[in-house]
Amino acid sequence: MIKLYNVSKTYAKSTVKAVDDLTLDINAGEIFGFLGPNGAGKSTTIKMLTGVLTPDSGTIEIDGVNLADNPIAAKSIEGFVPDNHEIYDTLKGIEYLNFIGTMYGMPTELLKQKIAEYAALFDLTEALPNMIGSYSHGMKQKLSIIAAVIHDPKVWILDEPLTGLDPQSAYQLKQLMRAWADRGNTVFFSSHVIDVVEKVCDRIGIINHGKLVAVDTLENIRADGKLSLEDMFLTITSDGERK
Ligand SMILES: Nc1ncnc2c1ncn2[C@@H]1O[C@H](COP(=O)(O)OP(=O)(O)OP(=O)(O)O)[C@@H](O)[C@H]1O
Ligand SMILES: [Mg+2]
């Protein structure tokens, strides 16, 4: 569902590759957790997957659609929750969701129904008539999450989605991610919270200095029994390969 072939990216004025020859294949029905220390290249990868940044080399396919050749078609299959929650402060929550849903070409009735459903799920119904500028960090995050799933994307990509969420909303988000994948969609998210990754992911990838240093199912990691995910993460990102 998400395929990256030999994708690399170096930022202007930098000599180091932020992402270095990344190849990954993520299946339908899968929740994939992307782990790595600060500055490892997670957000850069996610920005390339969502068309915010263009790779210097390599190819990205979303559900078989080449992102570089057909950017609109590929991006219409995606829902994206960025890490910065910078949304329009001068719009009301409801106006923002209507704007996003309309952009994705959703019929009015369906859009209304989906907004009501997700706002209730994330306890945001009462805040929707208010200006986004008045929202807390967590409320903006929840609005971003709703805006990303409103059009029922096959591929849902989230950068550090749990930051700032209260326990109820974090729980709802994790449940929604599972339900999303169980319907045959794909969820790709980055996180620093190893416990969360361990609870919700089917497979994980670890990136360090732009290079993918491990990819495995949690089942295999657990079956291995030698190292917990946390030990494995710390070992790999400090001194090289997993033994
Ligand atoms: N806009 C930018 N211009 C120049 N260099 C950048 C830019 N954004 C990121 N970088 C560099 O690219 C590398 C990867 O950064 P990236 O943001 O992808 O890391 P990350 O894994 O998301 O980290 P974090 O866990 O802190 O969010 C880092 O060395 C970072 O300094
Ligand atoms: Mg990041």
The pLDDT tens digits for 221-240 are 777 767 788 888 888 888 54
Same domain, 158 and 73: yes
Q: Which residues contact 36 (CB under 8 A, 6 or more apart)?
A: 42, 190, 206, 207, 208, 237
The alpha-carbon radius of gyration of the chain (Å, integer) is 18
Q: How far is CA 113 from the centre of its chain?
A: 24
pLDDT score, position 239: 52
Instruction: Kindly state whether residues 40 and 71 are assigned to the same domain.
Output: yes
Q: Which two tokens stand for residue 119?
A: 């706002």
What's the rounded mean pLDDT across residues 194-210?
92
What pLDDT shows up at residue 176?
Answer: 95
Contact 74, 67 (CB under 8 A): yes
Note whether 6 and 73 are same-domain residues: yes
Same domain, 142 and 196: no
Is residue 196 included in any domain, yes or no?
A: yes
Residues 233 and 186 in one domain: yes
Q: What is the mean pLDDT of residues 75-81?
A: 95
**Helix axis angle, 167-182 to 137-149, nearest 10°:** 10
Among the bound ligands, name the one nearest to the CA of residue 38: 1
Q: Is 167 within a domain? A: no
Q: Indicate whether 233 and 181 sit together in one domain.
A: yes
**What are 134-156's pLDDT values in tens digits?**
999 999 999 999 999 999 999 99
d(CA 167, CA 180): 20
181 and 230 belong to one structural domain: yes
* Res. 162: pLDDT tops 80: yes
Residues 103, 62 share a domain: no
Residue 122 lies in a domain: yes
Classify residue 169: in a domain, yes or no. Answer: no
Local structure of residue 218 (DSSP, 8 states)? H
Task: Give the three-class secondary structure for 11.
Answer: coil
For residue 2, give the nearest of 70, 71, 73, 78 by alpha carbon: 78
Specify the pTM: 0.94
> 222 lies in a domain?
yes
The Å distance, Cα 42 to ligand 2 centre, comes to 5
Residue 52 lies in a domain: yes
In a domain, 72, yes or no: yes
Report the alpha-carbon angle 20-26-32, nearest 5: 90
Q: Decide if pLDDT at 73 tops 60.
A: yes
User: Could you identify the atom of ligand 1 that is nearest to the CA of residue 46?
Assistant: 18
Model pLDDT, residue 241 = 45
Percent of the chain with pLDDT over 90: 81
- For residue 85, pLDDT over 90 is answered with no
CATH number, domain with residue 12 = 3.40.50.300
Pocket of ligand 1 (CB under 6 A): 11, 14, 18, 36, 38-44
What whole-number distance in Å separates Cα of residue 212 and Cα of residue 156? Answer: 21
Q: In the chain, how many domains are there?
A: 2
Report the chain's mean pLDDT, rounded to a whole number: 93
- Cα–Cα distance, 149 to 117 (Å, whole number): 11
Residue nearest to atom 11 of ligand 1 (CA): 18
Say whether both 63 and 158 belong to one domain: yes
Are residues 45 and 115 both part of a single domain? Answer: no
| Domain-embedded: residue 170 | no
* Alpha-carbon gap, residue 234 to 223, rounded angstroms: 19
Of the bound ligands, which one is closest to the alpha carbon of residue 207? 1
User: Do 241 and 180 fall into the same domain?
Assistant: yes
What gap in Å lies between CA 144 and CA 149, rounded to an integer? 9
Q: Which two tokens stand for residue 97?
A: 């969701």
Range of the domain at 212: 1-77+154-162+175-243
Question: Residues of 232-243 as b/e, b for ≥16 C-beta within 10 angstroms?
Answer: bbeebbeeeebe
- Span from the CA of 159 to the centroid of ligand 1 (angstroms): 13
149 contacts 175 by C-beta, under 8 angstroms: no
Residues 215, 241 within the same domain: yes
